[in-house]
Amino acid sequence: MKRKNHDTRNSATNKVKTTIKKYKLIEEGDKIVVAVSGGPDSIAMLDILRKMYQQEMSERSIGVAQLVVAHVNHMIRKEATEDETFVKAYCNKNNIEFYSKSIDIKKIGKYNKIGTEEAGRIERYKFFNEILEKTNSNKIAIAHNKNDNAETIIMNLLRGSGVSGLKGIEAKRGVYIRPLIECERSEIEEYCKENELNPRIDKTNFENIYTRNKIRNIIIPYIKKEFNPNIINTLNRLSEIVSEEEQFIENEVEKVYKKILIDEIEKTIILDLKLFNKQEKVIKSRILLYTITKLFGNSKGIEKIHIEDIIELCSNKIGNKYLTPNKNTKVLIKQNKIYISKI
């Protein structure tokens, strides 16, 4: 029996509402920058949020928020200007504040010697944060969905990531929220169809040039056919389990960190060497990553081999020894203390 349009439409909307409540993504008074490319995911997200906060304000069940839209023209496809016009027209029609920026992603990628996909991601997030500040917003909504999460987990596995990589894409991290993270791509496409949104289609998504596209168009369909037709849900369940366990470990690491912390200076964190050496190796590794993230905001440039080298340095108990795992970081052992510093 064919499902009624009303039920199909409510499916995506109800999942978004449930996700918002579950992860406390949106609260009363939030001002949200909605990242909209014009594709099915982002335009569906914008449409759902708009209806929730412009047409259903009387419910006040998840808090009333203000929306502004940010769009990046990557200048890669000839249809890019049409995408921008499409998003702008939607915003004008629905009285939503609209911001856009044209960025030559290929040129930037070539200049910085990084891939086009990575360059695009960096520039997009940079622009979204600019609009966040400019509009005094406090959150940025990104249209990642359940399929994106599964693809990310496979990508991380192929890259040899640790357990953290199995978390996939988090529903909420810092200012970033992902209201569609528990919606499947098929549900989003159905929502667009039923609501006659006529989203823009990026044809490069069907070109198997980038790693993600190969996973999306080749690997996942093959796994579905030959091994597990529910692989998307399976990977998302794995993601949820790992996230819960990681949260527990992170809480324990924070407790240990506070115990072995001696001092936090502007460019240096000092830890107690003896207490550090008493910890299990897995906790030592996490403590080092936690400390480096506190100093730099992230742990990029620090690999497994660097962590192992630091642990070995600490276990030698030899004073005034140091190493520089990368050009920005110095680890010094002195007087039973570990000095982790910005260079």
- What are the pLDDT digits (tens) for 106-133? 899 999 988 888 898 999 999 999 999 9
Residue 219: DSSP 8-state: I
Checking if the pLDDT of 102 tops 60, the result is yes
What residue has token string 């030698």?
316
Whole-angstrom Cα distance, residue 28 to residue 131?
Answer: 20
Question: For residue 32, what is the enclosing H or E element?
Answer: strand 31-35
The arithmetic mean of pLDDT across residues 30-39, rounded, is 96
The neighbouring-strand residues paired with 330 are 341
The arithmetic mean of pLDDT across residues 278-292, rounded, is 96
Residue ranges, CATH 3.30.465.60, the chain = 265-342
Domain 265-342: give its CATH architecture: 2-Layer Sandwich (3.30)
Higher pLDDT, 93 or 56: 93
The pLDDT score that the predictor gives to residue 267 is 94
What residue has token string 């929730």?
52
Residue ranges, CATH 3.40.50.620, the chain = 5-239
CB 199 within 8 A of CB 43: yes
The pLDDT score that the predictor gives to residue 108 is 93
CA Rg value for the chain: 23
- pLDDT band for 59, please (50, 70, 90 cuts): low
- Taking only the tens place, the pLDDT of each residue in 158-211 is 988 888 889 999 999 999 999 999 999 999 999 999 999 999 988 777 788 888
* Sequence-ordered list of residues with C-beta below 8 angstroms from that of 51, at least 6 positions apart, any chain: 13
Give percent of the chain with pLDDT exceeding 90: 74
> Taking CA 151 as the corner, what is the angle to CA 34 and CA 230, rounded to the nearest 5 degrees?
110
Where does 5-239 sit in CATH, by number? 3.40.50.620
CB 149 within 8 A of CB 111: no
Checking if the pLDDT of 9 tops 50, the result is no
Helix-strand-coil split of the chain, %, nearest 5: 55, 15, 30
